[in-house]
A and B are shown apart, each in its own frame.
Chain A
């Protein structure tokens, strides 16, 4: 690679990393407990669990309308936005209640026993340690602008990863894979560790970074979906107001007719009229498949909230499919506990890559290379280590100091 190209890539790598490093460190640190949020919730006793029952009592189900009624009775001043079965246990329904149908952080969640309609708990998802970790990780407590900002930082991370891979070649072309030169200066050791861990975690970090960035666009993608696909489906309803609660038909019936349209599916969640995932006139039932992969994909069925007639069941557009597939790839929650542990180890490795990168930049002004003695350029003395500790570039240094100075711009230029 030409020294000029190395200089350009070094500049890209330096600035893309420097700008995003602080936020990436925050995301790695807050993401670590989130990998285990189910297990932590279980330990803290905040996970809702259905009490054991036997025989017929365990198998029977009350109407979803009764479930919703009982939850609503606890918060009569609020509206129901969503109901969803527990992902792993269909004996538990979660009912989400908010002041209005608009998206908000001010929500109450009520867990109801699907077998007898009794309220099991009112889990507080919006407080405590895990909530703080979650909000810092998702939007820095700043809503959509915070999300999009973190998405931009994610994009910079991807740029840093790509430019880092490009620079791997000039740095490593004369070293065996995995070389860590510990005998020399500390900076050289950390450079080698940075390169080693960077290349080892490369694909994982890129996938988690890219899927994280895609997740920050979720709100916008759903808004676009409403504009792109729902608007023409809703043409006949134009001019009609939000269906008043008193005029709404049975939600259980909405679920039944939706399930009848698609065999081998189960409900993921039901969005009520006027909420972000529905229209002002529909209960939108999101179904998911029974297979490992299809269980991650959703299939919306728009059911008229007054008549319970199915208005449409539009296929999910590619951009929402991409969003849904990118979620497990970001969360690491789709391969059991060993995968979660691997996710945590790779997360820590990424923290080391970020930290060592920052260290290498902070130590860029190391005087041993700025005025390297002449003989050092060709000799084996410690002072001969080039600015980046990169042996391939030392050859360049012997030929042309200016060229080596360019190539070292990652570490030296301010």
Chain B
């Protein structure tokens, strides 16, 4: 237990971050020039960190797997970014943003971290406006806010339905300026394939040049991982196709603890799966639930007739419809949090009331809203989303109800970090979705953008100096040391092993299998029996992968199948750890729902006295069970309560 030191500063909540900054060590400008920092990833966290560290005078090497830093998947975030500005004068404050985030996370996040996040949130908005991010504005010229799930105030800043895009392009522009000023060197189409540790400290990475296929070595005084989440373990998710957990997994295998791996977020409003060939799932903004009513047929025979195409949803009479969220949660209705809405949809579909040809869909109906507000108003609010839906499904949501179903969207778990965002490996840092720190067991809407930019602009540039201040006498590393040799040899052997399997299954074929196992057993509803089965099935799948995989072409060239295979090998192992963690956590909290632990009304039931901790997993070696340490979550300032959305 005492292996875990989260380094939360002493003092009152509101004083912790100030105290830390007042007493941390700094690096003087002349010494900054002599220190190299590797940043892996160019999303909101990575780009903002690389730009900010470069501006400070550090020598930054920034890597991304796409052709440009601007492609990172932060770009796809739609809704907005939270901040405690209180511009609408509706009673918001840093404390309220902190409290809502802690409560939304079902009391499984650290108080100190979350308070700091709320504290710096306002600076993020200032920074982005200065960069020229075109946030929505009122006619008076000031910034507009909208409301979002899990809050009683309007604190969400937005740029149409493309907030993530605009914030990422803001960070990308800052990064581009730093590249122009030679503060950052950019490596695009490069993928980190291993972490290099020298004398117990992170000192570099091995990266594969995705165009030439060559392995290259990079040394630095510190390494920052900003490579996002591992949602694609499920194959189908709202993540981008190349989003992966491999950089994080390499860190885990080199000694960094992996925290709360089972905590994944399932978003309730995605377009349902339509066929075997499907490659990804598309999210429809949560805002649709403000006006749409969710229902399934009341009668099993009606649901069956719809699935067989004999009835259309508009044929079902009002009294034969079950608006199950309004029925179960009268106070919040269709606006319950993401985890609650997702589980309720699954419950109805499992009971046989699902619609669509697969039976895995529910209706999101705007007929009532169109009647109440008029089609024009609905179009002004949601027109772009309706159009997007129609492009994909070829059905007009103004006339027939939309079909939706939950999908994997975000991973709250990730690399364990302390208050300084440093992992359990000295000199290795993790920021953004890649770390586990701020969202507990469930993330609120519009908080991911806030966390990514908070880490990159305003937290890491401070905390990393506390580490680097002790490194100023360490000379630049050569990359011909035995440690680099060894790391490169290991990954070279791994690639050779993959190329030599010469089996019969494509990477996608096996990845889809993995997705089915994860969704069926480690998805929205989990139980001990299923999780044990999943662990067995994953073992077999791993064997299948290493005996039956087929990768065409050769390794020393652009080889997309090899890239995917390297990522899938890690996804399978991540899946195993997720299942272990889910089995271990015998309670329900936020996105982690254990069927055995629910209230008489079917709600998540936490066991605070036993499970108010962060599970920190340490790798013990191939085919050995990982060891788990507990970081207790002692709440000094907030009283834990059962979440209630009924009354």
A and B pair up: no
